[in-house]
Amino acid sequence: MRVALLAGGTGGAKLAAGMQEELGPDLTVIANTGDEVPASQAFMVLTRAQNQPGADQNATNTDTPWVDQSQTYSSHASHQVFLREYGAGTGTAGPNNPAAVATGSLLHGLPAGQTYPGSPDMTGGESTWASVKKQAHDLLGLQLVDADVTQADRVVSRASALLLRRSEQPPGTVWTTPVEMPPLPPPDQLQSDTVPLWVHAYGKQANVAGANFDLTQWQHDGPKFVWLRDVKPLIDGEPLTALTRAAMAGDVASSLTHYGTEGLFFINADYTLTLSRLPEGPDIGLVALTHSSHAGVATGTAALFDHRGQIGSATATTLANPGFTSRTIG
């Protein structure tokens, strides 16, 4: 009998339970007892982690920060690409001259102190999340960023970002759905710094903005737009960057795409922002593109603009929240 060793978790226990019909209650294959199976099925799954107390006994893999070999030898190329070792290409990178070339080896760990403070030398061992991120940044043009937001020593929110290295723009034209933003509000409506954020919604009147924060302009069965301008910094003493402005604007995609004829009855659970470039100037616009919902779960997508044109999109996932009522200020 062959034994398959898993990295941990509940997979081994669940698979073993499901094999009982094929291998018998003791998961053994004994000749002439009626529980014989083909050689391809004659194996037993063991978990590498230790069972936890209780009836469920779900095992937890505690091998981190190592990337386990069962994951290193992934069968999918999209996983393997990050776990292979690369070396820098020669000459100027181009279509026929890659910037990074696979060495044929698996990625190793990092020198002492680079995986976490005080970490040992891992250069001869398996790859870690730290070494995967470092190689992706240094050779593959990808910067992976993770952040936890804590309150009273508890994680209350998580964020991640994938930053891409810019390169030469390919030739040709790619079709996209035509979208046109309404004009920016008149400058005299954007002079006051008494509010942290200007929100000028368009909807019922396609080319006329409502009062600041008057989201009832979206309470109709038709196109919806908004121009935003952050007036106050997100953090005292820290100037607003273009990326920060775009990230905060992406959150507005939730209310923009989920506002209906009866009001706003969905609350944001998560949103994803994608940008082809950073916005220029203080004003960011959004236009609602799609909305779909079922059984109290919804998703909506909006396109993002600056004064030059479209810069990306934001997708929000939401839950029904019937007790919520949007308000108008300004």
Confidence of residue 167 (pLDDT cuts 50, 70, 90): confident
Q: Within this chain, do residues 193 and 306 fall inside the same structural domain, yes or no?
A: yes
Q: Within this chain, do residues 196 and 294 fall inside the same structural domain, yes or no?
A: yes
The range of the structural domain enclosing residue 305 comes to 187-320
Spacing of C-alpha 74 from chain mean position = 21
Would you say the pTM of this structure is higher than 0.75?
no
Q: In this predicted structure, what is the pLDDT of residue 7?
A: 38
Of the chain, the percentage scoring pLDDT greater than 90 comes to: 35
For the domain that residue 275 is a member of, what is the CATH number? 3.10.129.10
Q: Within this chain, do residues 215 and 295 fall inside the same structural domain, yes or no?
A: yes
pLDDT at 184 over 70: yes
Residue 54 lies in a domain: no
Q: Within this chain, do residues 36 and 73 fall inside the same structural domain, yes or no?
A: no
Confidence of residue 314 (pLDDT cuts 50, 70, 90): very high
Asked whether the CA dihedral 289, 230, 312, 180 is positive or negative, the reply is: positive
Please give the residue that has the higher pLDDT: either 185 or 230.
230
Note whether 122 and 128 are within 8 A (CB): yes
Residues recorded for the chain: 330
Alpha helices by DSSP H, the chain = 11-18, 20-23, 69-72, 77-83, 129-138, 242-251, 253-258
Q: Within this chain, do residues 217 and 248 fall inside the same structural domain, yes or no?
A: yes
Confidence of residue 1 (pLDDT cuts 50, 70, 90): very low
Note whether 256 and 218 are within 8 A (CB): yes
Q: Within this chain, do residues 222 and 278 fall inside the same structural domain, yes or no?
A: yes
Per-residue tokens: 289: 């593109």
Distance CA 206, CA 187 (A): 18
SS (H, E, C) 255-306: HHHHEECCEECEEEEEEEEEECCCCCCCEEEEEEEEEEEECCEEEEEEEEEC
Q: What is the pLDDT of residues 226-285, one digit of tens each?
A: 999 998 888 888 989 999 999 999 999 999 999 999 999 999 999 999 999 999 999 999
Q: Within this chain, do residues 194 and 246 fall inside the same structural domain, yes or no?
A: yes
Residue 126 lies in a domain: yes
Residue 300 lies in a domain: yes
Residue 328 lies in a domain: no
Dihedral of CA atoms 117, 121, 124, 128 in degrees, nearest 10, equals 0
Q: Within this chain, do residues 205 and 299 fall inside the same structural domain, yes or no?
A: yes
SS (H, E, C) 155-179: EEEEEEEEEECCCCCCCCCCCCCCC
Q: What is the pLDDT of residues 38-57, one digit of tens each?
A: 666 655 554 455 566 666 65
Of the candidate ranges 64-68, 100-104, 162-166, the one whose mean pLDDT is the lowest: 64-68
Q: Within this chain, do residues 218 and 307 fall inside the same structural domain, yes or no?
A: yes
Please give the residue that has the higher pLDDT: either 212 or 229.
229
Residue 211 lies in a domain: yes
Please give the backbone phi and psi of residue 39, each rounded to the nearest 5 degrees, phi first.
-60, -30
Q: What is the pLDDT of residues 79-104, one digit of tens each?
A: 678 888 898 887 676 666 677 888 88
Residue 24 lies in a domain: yes
Residue 181 lies in a domain: no
pLDDT at 118 over 50: yes
Which of 172, 167, 162, 215 has the alpha carbon at shortest distance from 327? 215
Q: Within this chain, do residues 195 and 312 fall inside the same structural domain, yes or no?
A: yes
Burial of residue 63 (number of CB atoms within 10 Å: 0-12, 13-18, 19+): middle
Q: Within this chain, do residues 78 and 10 fall inside the same structural domain, yes or no?
A: no
Distance CA 23, CA 34 (A): 10
Residue 158 lies in a domain: yes
Q: Within this chain, do residues 108 and 147 fall inside the same structural domain, yes or no?
A: yes
Which of 218, 246, 264 has the alpha carbon at shortest distance from 314? 246
Q: Determine the 3-state secondary structure of 323 from DSSP.
A: coil
Look at the chain and report how many structural domains it folds into.
3
Q: Over the chain, what is the mean pLDDT? A: 79
